[in-house]
């Protein structure tokens, strides 16, 4: 199943199910709100208002409008560790990051004039159920789905998090979303290319570690880290960023510097 948040008007959004070229509206303001409902899978699969091609909106918003918990794996690719001139970590290095703003596909990312801004493509893991101290063998049961994330942040500043445009449920992807190619282009030039099989710590390990230190709730987001080549000083007003994961989609944004 593939879910998204559509912008119906300038002030209204709605969760929707995507079935090939069909969009079915669901009675929730966004995918994050849908996930907080008991038996959300049944709600997501239920009949709803079918949008016809003549009036179906094409704009998508962020999958969720609120993140209660946003946890990042800081260094989770060997190439990233090498780029930072640091040994690969023996255990996951996790950050709980404050969020300044959430953005969707084709949104302009409004950045503060902070130095040393980092960005990059990441596999996002969206939690679908209450999860606390879950053993590794059961961690993947907590996953509602996977998405694309581009976290733009600087040390000491809250992050701007682009997320979407789709949430893809685990049944449509390999276990733990392994074997998926990630890419990032900046102003048309390829900057990053990696594979989720290259993760130092896989999705199951990350959920186990995060749930041992905090209780995860439906709609919470864990990002699995970004590969190398997210150097600073690359972004400017008007920069175009496309981050993509095979099997999930593309997330496209323009940078606007405040």
Q: What is the pLDDT of residues 175-185, one digit of tens each?
A: 999 999 999 99
Residues near 107 by Cβ (< 8 Å), separated by ≥ 6? 61, 62, 162, 253, 254
Give me the pLDDT at residue 181, please.
98
Say if CB 181 and CB 97 are below 8 A apart: no
Please give the residue that has the higher pLDDT: either 112 or 244: 244
Q: 56 pLDDT band (50/70/90 cuts)?
A: low
The whole-number pLDDT of residue 258 equals 64
Q: How confident is the model over 130-140, as a mean pLDDT?
A: 94
**The pair of three-digit structure tokens given for residue 26, joined into one six-digit string:** 């669901």
Q: How high is the pLDDT of residue 166?
A: 95
pLDDT at 54: 54
Q: 20-38, pLDDT tens digit by residue?
A: 878 999 999 999 999 999 8
pLDDT band for 9, please (50, 70, 90 cuts): confident
Extents of the domains making up the chain = 2-51, 70-257
The answer to whether the peptide bond before residue 165 is cis (omega within 30 degrees of 0) is yes
d(Cα 176, Cα 146) in Å, to the nearest integer? Answer: 9
Whether 13 shows a pLDDT value over 80: the answer reads: yes
Instruction: Domain 70-257: give its CATH code.
Output: 3.90.850.10
Percent of the chain with pLDDT over 90: 69
The predicted structure's pLDDT at residue 58: 65
pLDDT tens, 147-161? 999 998 887 788 899
Highest-scoring range by mean pLDDT, 42-56, 67-81, 113-127, 212-226: 212-226
Distance, CA of 123 to CA of 146 (rounded, Å): 7
Instruction: Identify the CA nearest to 36 among candidates 4, 72, 2, 67.
Output: 67
- Predicted confidence at residue 102, as pLDDT, reads 93
Q: Is the pLDDT of residue 62 over 80?
A: yes
Q: What is the pLDDT of residue 208?
A: 97
């Amino acid at each position: 199943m593939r879910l998204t948040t559509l912008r119906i008007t300038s002030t209204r959004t709605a969760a929707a199910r995507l079935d090939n070229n069909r969009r079915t509206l669901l009675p929730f303001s966004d995918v994050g709100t849908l996930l907080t409902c008991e038996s959300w899978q049944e709600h997501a699969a239920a009949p709803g208002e079918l949008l016809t091609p003549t009036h179906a909106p094409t704009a998508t918003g962020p999958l969720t409008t609120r993140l209660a918990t946003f946890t990042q794996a800081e260094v989770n690719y060997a190439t990233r560790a090498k780029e930072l001139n640091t040994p690969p970590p023996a255990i996951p290095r996790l950050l709980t990051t404050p969020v300044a703003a959430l953005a969707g596909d084709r949104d302009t990312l409004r950045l503060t004039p902070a130095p040393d801004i980092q960005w990059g493509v990441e596999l996002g893991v969206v939690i679908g159920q209450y999860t606390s101290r879950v053993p590794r063998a059961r961690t993947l049961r907590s996953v509602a789905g996977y998405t694309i994330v581009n976290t733009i942040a600087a040390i000491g500043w809250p992050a701007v998090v682009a997320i979407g445009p789709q949430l893809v449920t685990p049944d449509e992807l390999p276990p733990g979303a392994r074997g998926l190619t990630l890419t990032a282009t900046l102003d048309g030039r390829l900057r990053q290319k990696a594979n989720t099989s290259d993760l130092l710590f896989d999705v199951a390990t990350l959920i186990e570690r995060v749930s041992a230190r905090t209780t995860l709730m439906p709609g919470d987001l864990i990002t699995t880290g970004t590969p190398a080549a997210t150097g600073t000083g690359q972004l400017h007003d008007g920069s175009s960023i496309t981050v993509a994961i095979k099997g999930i989609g593309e997330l496209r944004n323009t940078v606007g510097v405040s």
